[in-house]
Amino acid sequence: MPIEENLQKEIKRVFDLQKSNRMRLANSSVEERKAKLKKLLNEILVSQDQICEAVYKDFRKSREETRLSEIYATTSELKHIIKHLKKWMKPKRVSTPLSLFGSSSKVLYESIGQSLIISPWNYPFQLVMAPLGLAIAAGNTVIVRPSEKSTNTSALLKKMIDKLFPEDEVKTFLGDEEVARELTSLPFNHIFFTGSPTVGKLVMEAAAKNLTKVTLELGGKSPVILNKDADLRTSATRIAWGKFMNGGQTCVAPDYLLIHEDVKEKFVGYMIEATKNLYGDKNTLREENNYCRLIDVKHFQSIQRLIDDAVNDGATIIHGGEIDESDKFISPTLIENVKLDSAIMQNEIFGPVLPIITFKDFNEILYIVNQNPNPLAFYVFSKNKSFIKNVLESIPAGSSAVNDVVVHFANYNLPFGGINYSGIGKSHGYHGFKAFSNEKGVMKQPKYSTMTLLYPPYNNFKSKLVNLTIKYF
C-alpha cells in the first residue's frame, strides 16, 4: 500500500529543505562537526537507561549486553571519530609522476551531500547512531529510516535525533518498507543500507535510477573453521558467545561450524558446557535474563522451519532445540548431520542454531564454503600458521578473525563490509568517513610545465620526446 499523501509531501519537503542546507554543512569546520558529535555522544551517555529499556522491550536483551553491543559499540566509534576527524579532513598530499615534474597533487575530502541511512532491527540503536556519526563527520545532511520491527528503539531514536538536530540537518522518518521505498526513490547522493541481501538488491535497484552511490552492509553464511590443533575449550567459549549473543541475530555471527573430524566429539562437549556457563542450562536459560529473544513471531517461525526441515531430512539436534512461539524463544541449538543442499545450509540462519559439519582435509573445507556466495565474515581457529595462511588466502570474505569471532567489528581501524553478495563498500572509522565523502583529486601546475613540450604540432623532436617518455617514465 502506498504511503499517505501527507507523509509523502513531508518527506519531499524535508528532502528539499536539506538540499538547500547541503553546502553550508559541506563547508562547516572541523570544530563545528566535532561539537555536533560530542553533543550526540553526551546524549547517548546520559540516555543509557532509556536505551536499555527500549531494547529490552524489543528483544528481552539483557542490560549489560545492550550496554556493550549497542551503547559501547556506538560511543567508542564516536570517540574514535572525534579524536581523528581533524586528521581525516586534512587534504592528503600524494606523489606526482616525474613526467609531470614541477606539479603537485593532493586529495580533498568533501561532503558527499544528502545521505540516507536505512537501518535494520537486529542492533537497532548502534546501526543508526554509528553511521550517523560518520555522516555528520563528513559534513552531510541525513535522513534516517530505522526499522519498523524494533518499534521501541526506533521511537527513542527519533526522539533523541529530533532533540539534537534541526530537521534541515538530520531528520528521522518512522515507517515500513513503503516509507523506505519512497525515500530510496529520491535523488540522494549516498544511501547507507544495512540489512539482508534480498532488500539490498531492491535498494541498489532504486539507487541506480538516480545513479546514487551506495554502501550496502548485508550478510551471508559466515563459517567457522576449527582445525584439530586449536585450543578446543577456549574456541568453544568464544564461538558460543559470538553465536548466541543477541539470540544469534548478528550479521557476522558464526553461521555454521566446520570442524576436523578427529576433535568433533570432544569439542561438542566443550561447546555445550560453554553455552550453559554463558547463558544458563535448560532450567535457568529463560529465567536469568542473559539470553535474548527473537525479534518477532515471523522470524521465530522462519528459524523453526529451518530446524524442522533439517531434522526431517536426517539432521540430529545434539543440544537445545527447545522452542516457545509465545515467548519468541529458541534455545541455543547445536545440530549435526545436515545436508549441504538443505535449507539450513543454503540460507543465512540469523538465529541461535549452529550446524556442525566435519571435514577431513583442506580441499573439503573449500568445497563446502564455496557452496554459498562470499560471506560477510569467516573465522579460523588453529595454532598452525601455515593452515591459517592458507585459509585466509583461499576464502574471499568481507572480513576475518583468527582464533576468535565477531570481535573484529570493534576495531575501527579495520574496514568493515562485505564482498558482492554480502555487501558493497566499507565502513567504520576512517573507512566510514571516506564512504560518506567524495575523494576529489586535485593537481596544481606551475607556470612552466614539462607537459607543454608534448603539445602539438608534432615533429621529429617531439616524436623523440614521446619515445623517451614512454621508455623511461
For the beta sheet containing 256-260, the strands, ordered from the edge strand earlier in sequence to the opposite edge, are 316-319, 333-336, 353-359, 256-260, 223-226, 377-381, 399-402
Q: What is the per-residue pLDDT for 447?
A: 86
Residue 179, pLDDT score: 96
| Sequence ranges of the domains in the chain | 5-218+423-440, 223-410
Residue type, 104: S
* pLDDT for the residue numbered 237: 98
For 252-274, b/e burial (b = at least 16 CB within 10 A) is bbbbbbbbbeebbeebbebbbeb
pLDDT at 76: 98
CATH assignment, 223-410: 3.40.309.10
Crossing angle (nearest 10°) for helices 48-59 and 151-164: 150
Distance CA 92, CA 89 (A): 9
Q: What is the CATH number of domain 5-218+423-440?
A: 3.40.605.10
pLDDT of residue 287: 78
Report the alpha-carbon distance of residue 132 to residue 425 in Å, rounded: 16
Answer whether 5-218+423-440 and 223-410 agree in fold: no
Output the pLDDT for position 435.
98
The single residue of 251, 292, 336, 348 carrying the catalytic annotation is: 251
Which mean pLDDT values do the consecutive 10-residue runs of the chain (473 residues) have? 87 98 97 98 98 96 96 98 98 92 94 98 98 99 98 98 98 96 98 97 98 96 98 98 97 98 98 95 82 96 98 97 96 97 96 98 96 95 98 96 97 96 97 98 90 90 91 87
43 is annotated as an active-site residue = no
Angle CA(211)–CA(215)–CA(221) in degrees, nearest 5?
A: 130
What is the reported pLDDT for 1? 63
SS3 content of the chain, % helix, strand, coil (to 5): 50, 20, 35
> Active-site residue among 77, 169, 217, 336?
217
Tell me if residue 251 is catalytic: yes
The counts of H helices and E strands in the chain are 17, 18
Q: What are phi and psi of 167, to 5 degrees?
A: -70, -15
Report pLDDT for 450: 82
Kindly give the pairing relationship between strand 316-319 and strand 333-336: antiparallel
pTM score, two decimals?
0.95
Task: Tell me how far apart the 2 most distant CA atoms of the chain are, in Å.
Answer: 91
Residue with cell 531492491: 202
Q: Is 399 helix (H, G, I), strand (E, B) or coil?
A: strand
Nearest CA-CA partner of 259 in 235, 279, 240, 275: 235
